[in-house]
Structure 1
Amino acid sequence: MIARTAPGPARRSKRVLPGFGLTMGMVLTYLGVIVLLPVVALVLKGADIGPARFWAIVTAPRTLAALRLTLLAAGIATLVNTLYGLLMAWVLVRYEFPGKRFLDAMVDIPFALPTAVAGLSLSALFAASGWYGAILEPMGIQVVYTIWGVAAAMSFTSIPFVIRTVQPVLEDLDPQFEQAAVTLGAHPFTIFRRVILPAIAPALLVGVTLSFARSLGEFGAVVFIAGNLPMKTEIASLLAVIRLEEYDYNGAAVIALTLLAIALVLLGASNLLQARALRYKGKQA
């Protein structure tokens, strides 16, 4: 009698794209030349300055004021983008109405529009003689040359990140979970908080982080509406440009490296939280 051996584990078929080595090499070369080398050069330039000089530049009153304004305005813009971006994505996914495709296309305008044009447009709108400014100024609300103008410009250029990251997740969300919650007697807000929000939380977190990082580095849309007053409405990226114009390459490198470090920390924290959320979601499934 011949004993039958248990079948071994099935071997996975290798799925290799044609030309994988060449395409991967081109991708890595592009990332290395366009992304990695400039970042490494900036880090090396900052390392040559020395810790004492680096700390002196970062803690200078003008630098601290610019960083404080940039972070605060980016935080305000991100908060607005989180609420409005989620609402906009919800409307585009859950409702049908005339002009929906046009509205969906309008979301990408900040990506295509030059930031300088956006800054000029916002300055004209919020000026005392502009459409918005003529209404806000008599009420004592000034936007141009204030932090609110900076936040408005940052919000305009970074809002698509939240919408475009949340929108596809909402489209793929299975409506059966919401229907089951309705049959159990859950209220609409409870359904959103307990069913929908946990499902879209990782994508929303990514969009919010990208929006904040984009706001930190915004330049063209801000310089026209901010007024660029030192210690008041001067953003960090503009201060770095000013240091370059003054041939203070060390000062420009330190400011740029500080913004880069903040952005990298945010992206790292976002990826970590997203991984934990996905891991928790997998355990709950």
Structure 2
Amino acid sequence: MDKRLSKISFFDLLLLAELPDHKSLRSLSRSLGIEPPRLTKVLQSVRHQLQFEIIKTSSHGYIMTAEGSHVSLQAKELLRKAEEFIPRKSQLLAPSVTYTVGGRGFMNVFFSGAMIESLQAVNVTALLRFMDLSPEELRQTATEGVLDVALHLEDIQWPQTWSAAEVGSMHWNLYVGKNHPLKGSVSKDELLKFPFARSAYWNGRSIAQAADPLPIPRSERIMGHEMQTALTAIEIVQHSNNVALIPNIIARKAEEAGLIRSLKIRGLDPIESRIYLSVRSDKISQRLFRQWQSQLKGLLKE
């Protein structure tokens, strides 16, 4: 190393870097927060260390010498690189892998907390990316290798690189707002006097209508508002006379809070759906897969 640099400090570099941005030493001293006499003393020390003139002064201020302009540019570059000298907290954290989880919106809402807690339980350092997908989108993204984990209601025939397990079941119930005329147990004819909120989604080309498991043909229903997520359906029934078919696992809190009410339709059996958890075996360890199964099963039994 050049001996002339042995006593140059970071403050000296800061002073050199700021010199071209000012016209007078008084202005520079205010910027650096030091008194003019001390600034002059520091400049003289730096000039002595470097063994060449940095500025030329006059009654109007100062101008940079050629050597001074050069070291000023180098000082700015050294200070920029020095920002990386002290590591940030984020840089000290172990790099983590991200697993992409695909499922219908209400399933991600209901299961995401338990899945995150499971990572901690088995000491897995990873991040989860939850993607709200229609059944059609889920199959497509899984086939294209985008997904690592899938939450689904359909019994999907996965490739051999995937493992699947049933983690429980849920019910689809018909819900209305707290002030809706329908209450408790109603007949099919009474139900059909009110509009049904319908599920819709964008399939990449147009708005598509999603099928639902309610055993009443759509041709017999009055068309109501449309939405993509169960959380939006809950809002719709609260603020309209619409009836909506919503998974009980996501409607439970709103019902317990008295914001919505469930209906029982005389002559119609309860609608139940099985819930599956599937993972890519080459990405997700069996230990984490088992932990997720246990957590989700416990959550569905509550």
- TM-score category (smaller protein): under 0.3
Identify, as 1 or 2, the structure richer in helix.
Answer: 1
The alignment's TM-score, normalised by the length of structure 1, stands at: 0.19
Question: Could you say which structure has the greater relative contact order, defined with CA pairs below 8 angstroms and 6 or more residues apart?
Answer: 1
Q: Which has the larger radius of gyration?
A: 2
Identify, as 1 or 2, the structure richer in strand.
Answer: 2
